[in-house]
Amino acid sequence: MDPNLLILGGTTEATALARAVAAAGIAGTFSYAGRVAQPKAQPLPLRVGGFGGPDGLAAWIRQSNVTHVIDATHPFASGMSRNAVAACAACGVPLVALTRPPWQAQPGDRWQHVPDIDRAVDALGERARRVFLAIGRMHLAEFARAPQHFYLLRLVDPPEGALPLPDRAVEVSRGPFTAEDDAALMRAHRIGVVVSKNSGGDGARAKIDAARRLDLPVVMIDRPDLPARHELHSVEAVLHWLDHASTDLGV
């Protein structure tokens, strides 16, 4: 059977994979959650929006005759990734995750590891601080219980409606970013601490490199735990897996 992929996207890695898949003449659909106003165009047919949990995803996989699923979502998109594991197991369709290895602290880094967003809020403490909160827009409300801090927010789209943080500045930018620019931004806002997810990859690491240069502490939110699944770290490795996965179900 010719491959017919479902690529779960929303990352630069997913976009790179879609390009390679289209160039190789492999059929597939690219799926976005629909979180940003103008998602990057893709060279594959697009679908946008949730599937309706693991059962909805399993139904979609069956209806669309999907032969392989590639989960190239962000390492913190844990709901989608859990659903992909469950749905692919239910359908007997091979699944691979295209992931970025997490960042590792380097000499000069001052990271405080926390397991989740809630603990990141606690880690900021009682005393008012100037925080670069570079975690996207989805979890800003969780910082509302620490309104004493100034927050510099970097968002892909301009915020819609009121933000829950009274003392803040908003930078609208999609990146990629450079350490030089991020260091200048942090200096301009007199930032004293950075809050980051351990996303891994090059696109988002500028703020971490900038924090090291400026000798600033980083509250580093560790990745969520996910069920065991096959993971690969490059587009080439996924293309190679595609050549073999149909005869090697469940790799």
Which residue's Cβ has the minimum distance to ligand NAP?
50
The Cα–Cα gap between 185 and 151 comes to 13
Residue 50 found at the interface with ligand NAP (CB under 6 A):
yes
How far are the Cα atoms of 22, 87, 109, 167, 215 from residue 238, in angstroms, in the given order? 14, 20, 32, 44, 38
How far are the Cα atoms of 16, 57, 71, 206 from residue 27, in angstroms, in the given order? 15, 18, 16, 35
Q: How far is CA 72 from the centre of its chain?
A: 9
Residue 99 found at the interface with ligand NAP (CB under 6 A):
no
Q: Provide the minimum distance between the beta carbon of 206 and ligand NAP in the complex, in angstroms, as a whole number.
A: 15
Q: Provide the minimum distance between the beta carbon of 248 and ligand NAP in the complex, in angstroms, as a whole number.
A: 25
Residue 94 found at the interface with ligand NAP (CB under 6 A):
no
SS3 188: helix
Q: Which stretch binds ligand NAP (CB under 6 A): 37-45, 50-58, 184-192, 227-235?
A: 50-58
Q: CB-side exposure of 200: number of CA atoms within 13 Å? A: 15
Binding residue for ligand NAP (CB under 6 A) from 29, 68, 76, 149? Answer: 76
Q: E strand or H helix at 42, and its extent? A: none
Taking the least distance from each CB to ligand NAP, the nearer of 67 and 73 is 73
Q: Which stretch binds ligand NAP (CB under 6 A): 79-87, 98-106, 147-155, 171-179?
A: 79-87
Cα dihedral sign, 14-227-80-105: negative
Q: Provide the minimum distance between the beta carbon of 58 and ligand NAP in the complex, in angstroms, as a whole number.
A: 11
Token output for 108: 């000069």
Question: Looking only at residues 13 through 32 of this chain, which bind ligand NAP when binding is defined by CB under 6 A?
Answer: 31-32
Helices (H), 92-201: 117-124, 179-188
The footprint of ligand NAP on this chain (CB under 6 A) covers a number of residues equal to 25
Binding mask 122-161 for ligand NAP (x = CB under 6 A): --------------x-x-----------------------
Q: Provide the minimum distance between the beta carbon of 251 and ligand NAP in the complex, in angstroms, as a whole number.
A: 22
SS3 181: helix
Taking the least distance from each CB to ligand NAP, the nearer of 136 and 192 is 136
Q: Are 197 and 77 in contact (CB under 8 A)?
A: no
Taking the least distance from each CB to ligand NAP, the nearer of 192 and 204 is 204
Contact residues toward ligand NAP (CB under 6 A) are 8-11, 31-33, 35, 50-53, 56-57, 73-74, 76-80, 83, 136, 138, 197
